[in-house]
Amino acid sequence: MLARMRERYGLEIPWKTQIGEGLYLGHAFNITVNPSAEIGRNCNIHKGVTIGQENRGKRKGVPTIGDDVWIGVNATIVGSIKVGSDVLIAPGAYVNCEVPDHSIVLGNPCKVVPCKNATEGYINRRI
């Protein structure tokens, strides 16, 4: 099934990836997730997103993503970093830094902006 999904949609989310319930894939095309990454509950991932590994340096490893995270189109999240809960990652953002709870992440390099209820109105199919 994974091979079929990869061929048809460019969707690469290995079966052993730890994903909480409530995952929503908006326009699920060309999404790549490292098998060792961890994704929390009620996360929304949109097309072109990469959640990947850094192979060297101080952030060598894969991301851990908290609950209620909205990840916009073509965002890239890499390295051994923690993305907190209630975080909105803007389309096109390159995230390779720690992100605290209740934040919005913009741009490349990433800029973290504190924001209470950052994902209010964004999360689809919250469980």
Residue 46: active-site member: no
Where is 2: in which H helix or E strand? helix 2-9
- Strands across the sheet containing 94-95: 32-33, 50-52, 76-78, 94-95
Catalytic residue among 14, 18, 27, 125: 27
* Three-class DSSP category at 5: helix
In this structure, are residues 38 and 117 in contact, taking their beta carbons and an 8 Å threshold? no
Active site residues: 27
